[in-house]
Amino acid sequence: MRFYHQKSFYNPKAQLSRELGVVSFIASESENLFEVFAGGGSRTVMYSIFARPTEMYSNEASRSALCELKANIIINGIKNVKLFNEDIFKLSSVLYLEGKRFDFIDLDPFGSPSPYLPYIFLTVKEGTYIYITSTDMPTLAGKRKAYGFKLYGTYIPYMPFYPEVGLRALLYKLQSVAMEFSYTIDPLFFLYEGYAYRLLIRVGRFKGYPPLGFIYRCPNCGNYGVSKEPKGRCELCGSENESSGNIWIGRLKSQGFLTKMLDIAEELGFEKAKDFIKRALSEEDFPLYCELRSLHLRMMPRVSYVIKKLRERGFKSSRTMFSPTGIKTDAPFEEIMKVLTQSTDPSL
């Protein structure tokens, strides 16, 4: 595989996300693929060589990037790609009117994917997989609240576990758009890299009320959680909670799909993808992780010690991919605080 780039944007740090795209396409058993923003073709080439879709549509609105995309297709001997140099709003509408629906869609825009979602859903069907990128991190972290309403249709507060809040706000937006087309979404995995989210969802028929609710946190004692209805006051200290707007409170991944991806990553020799999937499989999938740094204790035990003690108390607990100092657990907040304040960690 060879790749040429000069003027088009190319991020060498995104190799993991490109590998995961290939692996997830194969795991989904899809046949055709729509690459919405192809750029210079780094993902186009990888999909074509490793995933081998029977039909692939690649669009790039920039003429200079399209030239590099064509060059990379030629030097890698790729034959099954249909190229487009169109505005995505126009192209999606044309494909919809032609009755074209895709098995797998790769949506990798600059910034937020929100403006493109209503048009992308014109080309989906029941069972479509959508692999989505968002680099709109300030908004999803709760730093630009007005834009949170504008782009995601909900209030996104800044909280210590903001990486997970942002991902759940993005999923809320996806679910909201899906419902407009009588669909629902099923998250299969996510990748958080600090500067971007990458997540895979599967589209299904709308069958009932989705797992939407609210995130709350007490600014006084730190108690946190999710609920179907807003919680005005902290159940531990009585202080007024800070709460999100409507947000996704369901699961974030599928263990079965990730297990399937792991076998494929091993077959392809994708070491980065394999290591990531193993970590994803080991993480518990409860709503919200506990960011231990935010508790501001004078002596903080090791993360591994906290996990061990919570497990000894009968709770499920693991590290989280959102933060090296966070834990995922089904233990109530008061149980976490007991472990922290009664710590006998020999490393302290």
- Torsion (CA) 328, 331, 335, 337 in degrees, nearest 10: 20
pLDDT attached to residue 177: 98
| 11 vs 244, higher pLDDT | 244
Extended strands (E) in 177-322 = 183-192, 197-205, 212-217, 224-227, 242-243, 247-248, 290-291, 317-320
d(CA 176, CA 179) in angstroms, rounded, equals 5
Give residue-wise pLDDT tens across range 318-347.
Answer: 999 999 999 999 999 999 999 998 877 656
Query: What's the pLDDT band for 4 if we cut at 50, 70, 90?
Result: low
Strand partners, 226: 215
| 8: pLDDT strictly greater than 60 | no
Q: What is the mean pLDDT of residues 25-38?
A: 96
| 79: pLDDT strictly greater than 90 | no
d(CA 339, CA 265) in angstroms, rounded, equals 38
Domains of the chain, CATH where assigned: 12-210+251-257 (3.40.50.150), 289-348 (3.30.56.70)
What one-character-per-residue DSSP string does 35-97 give? Answer: ES--TTSHHHHHIIIII--SEEEEE---HHHHHHHHHHHHHTT--SEEEE-S-HHHHHHHHHH
pLDDT attached to residue 11: 67
| 348: pLDDT strictly greater than 60 | no
Give residue-wise pLDDT tens across range 101-149.
Answer: 999 999 999 999 999 999 999 999 999 999 999 999 999 999 999 999 9
Q: Which amino acid is at 69?
A: L
Closest by CA to 102, choosing from 79, 120, 76, 75, is 120
Give residue-wise pLDDT tens across range 137-188.
Answer: 999 999 999 999 999 999 999 999 999 999 999 999 999 999 999 999 999 9
DSSP state letter for 101:
-
| 1: pLDDT strictly greater than 90 | no
Is 226:249 a contact under the CB 8 Å cutoff?
yes
pLDDT attached to residue 9: 56
What one-character-per-residue DSSP string does 111-122 give? Answer: S-SGGGHHHHGG
Mean pLDDT of the chain: 93
d(CA 339, CA 345) in angstroms, rounded, equals 10
pTM metric for this prediction: 0.94
Q: Which amino acid is at 26?
A: I
pLDDT attached to residue 246: 96
Query: What's the pLDDT band for 230 if we cut at 50, 70, 90?
Result: very high
Query: What's the pLDDT band for 64 if we cut at 50, 70, 90?
Result: confident
**269 CB-near residues (< 8 Å, 6+ apart):** none
| 191: pLDDT strictly greater than 80 | yes
d(CA 16, CA 116) in angstroms, rounded, equals 24
Is 87:63 a contact under the CB 8 Å cutoff?
no
Give residue-wise pLDDT tens across range 259-272.
Answer: 999 999 999 999 99
Residue 12's SS3 state is helix
Closest by CA to 131, choosing from 223, 219, 60, 196, is 196
Instruction: Please give the C-alpha separations between residue 111 and each of 41, 77, 283, in angstroms, as whole numbers.
Output: 19, 32, 28
Is 184:210 a contact under the CB 8 Å cutoff?
yes
